[in-house]
Amino acid sequence: MYEVTQLSNGTRIATAHMPQMASVSLGIWSGSGSRHESASLNGVSHFIEHVLFKGTSRRNAKEISESVEGIGGYLNAFTSEENTCYYAKARADKWEILADVLMDMYLNPSFDRDEVEKEREVIREELAMYLDQPSQHVLELLNEVLWPNHPLGRCITGTNSSIDRLKASDLRRYWKKHYVSSNTIIVLAGPLEHQTVVKKLSKYARRITKGKLPSWKPIKLIQHSPQFQIRPKHSEQIHLAFGIKTSSRHDEHRYSLRLLNTMLGENMSSRLFQRLREDHGLAYTVYSNLGFFDDTGFLTIAAGIDAAHLEKSMELIHDTLLEFCRKKPLRKELNQARDYLIGQLDLHLENTENHMIWLGEQILGFGKPLPSSLIRERLMAVSGEAVNHTANLFFKPEHLNLAIVGKVAKKRIQVLQNWLQ
């Protein structure tokens, strides 16, 4: 059961009551992420996420970690395009300690200059690690192709130049503007009663200052021709990623897209995995993935392949996409995909941490919790004809985007460009 209470300052406190659980997961969410950043501040949201662990007016970095680890819990955070979450998990009887530590971090960060400089180097190493992994690098490159000249096309971590520009004063100013009450949600999943949680957390939450919701630049979905970028890199494999713009999280097409994606490449039973890996042995890794934002979305297909198999792999991927446009899936395949998604949802929500993240994303994304029963109903209502219609709506030649990281000869690049056209 989900309950949400909004305090007088606009902060929302939400709970997922899981009476059978021995643990609690508590998360503090700020509805700000990389898409709210200007080009000059690229990476600031992620930088702040790091620095909030480095000390407050009450605790230093070691005391923050010891406070949670000393009770057998753990503490973490993540930054996405549209939000940032700080969370912790421990035994249910220790939840008030988690609340005190997390709220201290959120309300009282020190932004110590020495700590900021240390963390700058950590983030530079994190960025270098991502770019050194072709499978990750190609997805960052695809974002640039999908969302040119837009915050969604920039790396969440930032770039070396943007990270170097950011000062402690920039971080504090951005935190003060975006970590405001109307943009904050506190979420707890576990065996505690809602009113018990609200009573305890209210004394912290009422101290969050008021402010305006952050603005963001909407996406223009018009694309008249396929786009292509290659990043030369010496490696044994070539990593490629196709991307197609789809619908927002509010569009009803998202349910047929979820089923289509499952049949396409979400698991080992999918068409892409069976064809590229099992039937032809062209790729060790191949998968598809969906992402939804407030105003748009995307479908990604990624694969790591031997250079000699590049053109053959691309043809198979393209043909597999077009199959969904030519005819509806068989009832058996559609039912298997539906059972997979519903089963994965049920398994996912058995865990307090997953449930906390699920609830936070629902409230930030839709303004309210969407019960899992509603999602099951919508998935059950999707027909094969709806999947076919959705494929034809989004899978158009001019909507294709392609990124490649690896060593590709110049003459083959021209062949690939001609193939895309």
Q: Tell me the catalytic residues.
A: 49
Across-strand partners of 109? 56
Give which of 150, 113, 143 is closest to 38, Cα–Cα.
150
For strands 297-306 and 184-190, give the pairing: unpaired
Distance from C-alpha of 376 to C-alpha of 384, rounded to nearest angstrom: 16
| Residue 345 CB contacts under 8 Å (≥ 6 apart), including other chains | 372, 375, 376
Distance from C-alpha of 275 to C-alpha of 227, rounded to nearest angstrom: 25
Q: What is the Cα 207 distance to its own chain's centre? A: 29
CB atoms under 10 Å from CB of 163, counted, come to 21
Place of tokens 């035994």: 91
Distance from C-alpha of 93 to C-alpha of 361, rounded to nearest angstrom: 25
By CB atoms closer than 10 A (0-12, 13-18, 19+), residue 129 is exposed
389 φ/ψ sector (left φ>0, alpha ψ -120 to 50, else beta):
alpha
> Are 73 and 141 spatial neighbours (Cβ–Cβ below 8 Å)?
no
Which two structure tokens, joined as six digits, stand for 75?
A: 């503490």
Distance from C-alpha of 267 to C-alpha of 309, rounded to nearest angstrom: 22
> Are 25 and 86 spatial neighbours (Cβ–Cβ below 8 Å)?
no
